[in-house]
Structures are given as C-alpha cells and as structure tokens.
Structure 1
C-alpha cells in the first residue's frame, strides 16, 4: 500500500481493497477503516464512523436506526450475514459482526456501502485505512 486515504468512490474502493489484501497478506489481527462524515468538521464531539475487518468478519458499532440499515444492506449481499449482535447495557450502541466471505473488491464495495448507507456519509466522504 502506498496511500492511506481516499475521497472519491473509486479511490475509496481501491484503498479498501488494497487494505483488505494487505491485511490478509500480513495475517494481521485486523484492518480498520475510518470516515470523516462531518461536514466541514463542525461536529467535533461526534466520533468518526469506523469499520474493522478480521479474517472473514466485519465489525462495527451502530445505533438502533443504523442497525435497521445494516440489515437492509446485508440483504443486498446474499453471501454475507449478520453473525452476532451485542448491546451492552451501559452503551447506546450495538456491536455488529457480519460474516463476509468474498474477494477483496466485493468486501471493499460492502465497506464503502456501510459508510454511505448505514452511517449516512456523503458520496464524497474522506476515508482512511488507519490500521492494516
């Protein structure tokens, strides 16, 4: 990998596919993607949306309304399935684990759709591969 951020849909999917491939080749514990969905960085108190990938599993935290969108998105990817949901009592988020067995390009497309469809990031959001 030579770069760690991207902004256009094509660049993001290429970055995500390269990060997934690097994660697999290095046999690292996980790979993390983050997005800056805050318009003009005005919402400083809002954490950046993130997605982790390890082995054949996506991991993300979502709100109740985002969880509904996760189920809708997974329904568009028949080879993927929601494997586990955890909602600790002391948080308002649900941790979602999604089994995803596919090639790096299909996984990258799914990750990009998580940011756009689940987290409501704009089409031109900035993304980073923060851990590989």
Structure 2
C-alpha cells in the first residue's frame, strides 16, 4: 500500500465561486498513480469551503451557488458574526457541501461520470486564497 499527498494553493478571489479543479487532480494522478487503481481524497482544510462533484460549464455550478445563496443568505441571522456581514453563512456551508470527496481511481485516472467534475466551492470573500490537499492511496 502506498500513499502520496500534495497541497495546492488556489486564488478564489473576493466573491463566491465554484472552481473546477479536475485538471489539478488528473495532473497529480499522472505523477503518482502510475496507471494503478486506488482512491483520491480531495480535502479543503478550511471552515468555509467545500468540495462538490458536479457538472460545470452548463450552468450547474452557477445554479449550485444560487441555491446556496438562497439557503444561506448573507444577512444578520447568523450567530457567527466576525468578518464581512453575513459571514456566518460561510461557516455553515461545509455542513451542506462537505470539505472533502473520496473518488475512485482506475488505471491511474479519475473514474468520474461523463459530466462530473471536481469543484472547490468557496462562498467566503474574506479569504481569497485556499489550500486543497490531494491524497492518493493505492
């Protein structure tokens, strides 16, 4: 059994966003998977971001952000009150969009469905830099 890990530093900016990181995952696997089978864990070590496996480019990523805005409005209802107004909602986000995903790797490649991508979801405009940890276990 082998284990390889790497961290990525990504700039997400100062407004909510969905960042497709599938290519980063694939590049990591090209280096460490050697055509083998295993599991890729994608983890964001932040209390205000998550990892989703969704379709991108056809509007689903924007739809997810819109749904999160509706479910978690940036207003003064939140008990967690530091940062920008409504920032407490960002701390609830990982309860809906988990901060991790574990994905199958077959023959050294992500075994995703046709329209699936690995996406970093970040609603926290107060923190424009994010770390993502990729870990491959085979």
User: What TM-score do you get using the length of structure 1 for normalisation?
Assistant: 0.38
- Whose radius of gyration is greater, 1 or 2? 2
User: What TM-score do you get using the length of structure 2 for normalisation?
Assistant: 0.36
